[in-house]
Amino acid sequence: MARRALISVSDKTGVIEFARQLEQRGWEILSTGGTYASITGAGIPARQVSDVTGFPEMLDGRVKTLHPAVHGGILARRDEDHLGQLQEHGIGTIDLVCVNLYPFRETVARGAPFDEVIENIDIGGPAMIRSAAKNHAGVLVLVDPADYPLALADAVSDTDRKRLAAKAYRHTSEYDAAITAYLEGTSDELPTGLPQTLTLTLDKAAEVRYGENPHQPGAIYRLGSARGPVIDAQVVSGKPMSFNNFTDADAAWTLCQELSAQEAAVPEHAAVCVAVKHANPCGVALAGDVKSAWERARDADTLSVFGGVVAVNRPVDLAAAQSMRGTFLEVLIAPDVSAEATAWFAEKKPDLRVLIAGPSEHVSVLDVRPLTGGFAVQERDTRPWDDLCPETVTTREPTEQEWLDLRFAWATVKHARSNAVVIARGGVTVGLGAGAVSRIWAAERAVANAGEGARGAVLASEAFFPFDDVVRLAAQAGVSAILQPGGAKRDPEVIAACNELGLSMVFTGSRHFKH
């Protein structure tokens, strides 16, 4: 009896040649719908599954393969008992199942309406894949065109059969996870918050040489159908991205985009430049053009920017590119780079990775961090300024310029590792202290970094002040206004210190820890 293969694929890559090779080796081919039309259209003999089941496709194609003539042929053990039962009911074995699923994630990604997305939930496909994978000792299961050559071999080892079965179950589990995530994100009837069981579907998006350090293997993965401006950026010049390049570029671009959206703090059409080192901002600036914004951000901390990652919110022209000549940078990410600038980077800075990033679409709202034996999961901190209720708690009100700088500093400190303090003046950071185990130490680092630049500047803290020591340090350095969440037991003492020293203080009522 000829061996039988059931082929029904959404991704038709290589399927015609695969079917032709099977037919030449004496296989009988069963198929459905568009796959059947493609195979027979190429002159390859095939039978429709409906000829085997005795039933036509029903319900607009929702029911095609859900039948004992199909699943019996797949699931039967190749022993006397099961084969005898098949023979009694006139059912033949199916020895190869080549199936991949309706393009559910792709349908979601292009923004299709709900009803169309639902119709792209495959039912028969996962059932056949799971049946074949369960009976992998007697049935080859293929979900990936890359595995077609293996099925054409004279014999397939038990090890390869198990590997293909595991790959098949991974394929269906990822598919189910994508459906679950979509429905939880679109149904008004489902409970809000994080579910009791959370399935994370990660697909490898990029290879890197190693992780944070050379002894750590690493790779970059995409979460579900999410698209990321850095993961999906176009690299137009420079070396391949490293693990650390990806994380730093993502941090830089995220802050750059948040500042761009701060209409009250960032003048219309202003250029924003964010320099990041080890995931912390080290220089952030606004200006009328990219060249000037870069120069202001660079000059904010010329030592730390060396070897850093830079993001800008406006296209990079040749003048902006040439202004980066004297500084070693790892990555530049922008919404566009002119042809002249790209050519200049390729010639003058061949190691610099130059990325063009698109808009952030279908970005996951989850912030997932590893723990030993698990993960800490939360929603991303995307709370905008307009959602806050800032309140001046001192006698002195901030000036108009101080308000602009306070909002600018608040957006920046939100993206610095806690404990964090940012000093800013005139749309540029003049001092940053981040990742300190004490708030006063973070403030001391920011003040030392600012030097004389602190005079007339503002200070923002991502969390409240437990004491008035930061206020007194800031006043001594010449800072004129402070922004912090408030909510500490000693708030009255902190406010009194500001009034005593003539400083303005604003409470936002919202903490922004970033560990």
Comparison of pLDDT for 135 and 397, the residue scoring more: 397
Is 67 annotated in the active site? no
**Which is more confident, 72 or 296?**
296
Q: Which CATH architecture has domain 389-507?
A: 3-Layer(aba) Sandwich (3.40)
The predicted pLDDT at position 1 comes to 58
Report pLDDT for 193: 66
The catalytic residue among 12, 82, 167, 278 is 278
Residue 154, pLDDT > 60, answer: yes
Q: Is the pLDDT of residue 363 over 70?
A: no
Give pTM, 2 decimals.
Answer: 0.78
DSSP string, 30-91: EE-HHHHHHHHHTT---EEHHHHHSS--BGGGTBSS-SHHHHHHHH--SSHHHHHHHHHTT-
Q: What average pLDDT does range 23-52 have in this prediction?
A: 84
SS (H, E, C) 117-157: HHHCCCCHHHHHHHHHHHCCCCCEEECCHHHHHHHCCCCCC
Going from N- to C-terminal start, the domains of the chain cover: 4-186, 233-356, 389-507
Predicted local distance difference test score (pLDDT) of residue 486 = 95
For 300-341, the pLDDT digits (tens) are 999 999 999 999 999 999 999 999 999 999 999 999 999 999
Q: Please enumerate in sequence order all residues whose Cβ is within 8 A of that of 350, keeping only pairs 6 or more positions apart, or say none.
A: 237, 238, 239
Instruction: Please determine, for residue 387, whether its predicted confidence score (pLDDT) is greater than 90.
Output: no
**């703090």: which residue's tokens?**
265
- With a cut of 60, say whether residue 219 has pLDDT above it: yes
Please check whether the two domains, 4-186 and 389-507, share a CATH topology. Answer: no
Fold of 4-186: Rossmann fold (3.40.50)
- Locate tokens 């293997």: which residue? 217
**Catalytic residue flag (residue 89):** no
Helix (H) or strand (E) holding 371: strand 366-371
What pLDDT shows up at residue 368?
A: 86
Min mean pLDDT across 110-124, 316-330, 367-381 is at: 110-124
430 pLDDT exceeds 80? yes
What's residue 188's pLDDT?
A: 42
pLDDT digits (tens, 9 = 90+) for 462-514: 999 999 999 999 999 999 999 999 999 999 999 999 999 999 999 999 999 98
* More confidently predicted of 386 and 327: 327
**β-strand partners of 97:** 6, 141
Q: Of 12, 82, 134, 362, which one is the catalytic site residue?
A: 134
DSSP H or E segment with residue 20: helix 15-24
Banded pLDDT at 361 (limits 50, 70, 90)? low
Is the separation of the CB atoms in 327 and 306 below 8 Å? Answer: yes
CATH topology assigned to domain 233-356 = Cytidine Deaminase; domain 2 (3.40.140)
Instruction: Quickly tell me which residue has 């210190």 as its tokens.
Output: 497
Q: Chain centroid to CA 309: how far?
A: 18
- Pairwise pLDDT comparison (7 vs 323), residue with the higher score: 323
Mean pLDDT of the chain: 88
